[in-house]
Amino acid sequence: MLPVCYDPYVGTLGRFTRAEIISLVAKAGYDGINVPVNAAFLGDVAASDVDDLVARLEDNGLVAPTVGYGRYELLTNPDRADDVMPHFEVALGVAQRVGATIFGIWPPPPKSVSHTEGLDTLTTHLTAMALALEEHGLRVAIEFEKGVPIDNYRDGLAYIERVGLPLLLTADTYHLHSDQADPERAARQMGDRLGDVHVSGSERGEPKADNFDMDGFIRGLRAIDFQGPLIAQYHLKDVESIARVCAYVREVRERLTA
């Protein structure tokens, strides 16, 4: 069954420790968690940090189907190219330890370089990453967003076709809403290129019935037999929302698999 997971995001990271986050997520009823490989969640990513993460996930009965690269600011900056792969090796090691199958990437707007140079830099890094991940049974999933080098799902599909790499897309309901995309059509067009789904409010707040056409999105996901994780990603305002959002995403899953 599609795992319902929680992504430590704005309002969570920096407010709670790793131990507290894992405990809150488990108590709220989630199946798993996205693991961001950054200092806010994994400290120095030392062996002891990773051991602690693995032990806490096991103790709380949580899975981790997705791991986020974490240091996204490096990916489109040609001046930081030497820093990208060393951190990738660390993140790959974390992904292997937790049994992830999807390696999440968000390409930020390039700074001090052109859009083209930023995208070319990203492609160079993704080429190395995608091939290494494939050897270990993982695939890169790129999260598109308005204003970043891969602006929307259509750009994402065209990019994957152009570079010819084994890449997937992360569809975030907030980003689909910002793009004014038709959710059902978007899901159908992404098809087997859709790796995971981020469930968020249409303004990045708590996911619930709002301006996003969740009914249409579910129809599209059912049409493509989507089997990836459903991940709650939103700006946390109050801790009680963690359980409310879990119940909402579980309802989405029930409708999707009915």
- In CATH, the number for domain 4-257 is 3.20.20.150
3-class SS of residue 253: helix
Q: Dihedral angle at the C-alpha atoms of 249, 252, 253, 258, nearest 10 degrees?
A: 160
Give the pLDDT of residue 111: 86
Question: Residue 55: enclosing H or E segment and its boundaries?
Answer: helix 47-59
* Domain definitions of the chain by residue range: 4-257
Q: Are the beta carbons of 194 and 224 closer than 8 angstroms?
A: yes
183 CB-contact burial (10 Å; exposed 0-12 / middle 13-18 / buried 19+) = buried
Look at phi and psi of residue 236 and say left if phi exceeds 0, alpha if psi is from -120 to 50, else beta: beta
Identify the pLDDT of residue 208: 85
Q: How far apart are CA 170 and CA 199, in angstroms?
A: 11
- Per-residue pLDDT, 16: 97
Residue position matching structure tokens 């790796």 = 195
Q: Tell me the per-residue pLDDT of 168-214, one tens digit each, with 9 for 90 and over.
A: 999 999 999 999 999 999 999 999 999 999 999 988 999 987 889 99
pLDDT at res. 112: 87
Average predicted confidence (pLDDT) for the chain: 96
pLDDT (tens digit, 0 to 9) for every residue of the chain, 258 residues total?
799 999 999 999 999 999 999 999 999 999 999 999 999 999 999 999 999 999 999 999 999 999 999 999 999 999 999 999 999 999 999 999 999 999 999 999 988 899 999 999 999 999 999 989 999 999 999 999 999 999 999 999 999 999 999 999 999 999 999 999 999 999 999 999 999 999 999 889 999 878 899 999 999 999 999 999 999 999 999 999 999 999 999 999 999 999
**How many other C-beta atoms are found inside a 10 Å radius of the C-beta of residue 230?**
20
Condensed to tens digits (0 to 9), the pLDDT of residues 142-161 reads 999 999 999 999 999 999 99
Q: What is the spatial distance between Cα 43 and Cα 46, in angstroms, rounded to a whole number?
A: 8
CA angle 240, 219, 153 (to 5 degrees): 80
CA distance 7 to 39: 15
Q: How many residues does the chain have?
A: 258
Residue in the block written with tokens 């999260």: 143
pTM, entire model: 0.96
**In the prediction, which pLDDT does 211 show?**
86
Round to whole Å and give the CA distance between 188 and 99.
28
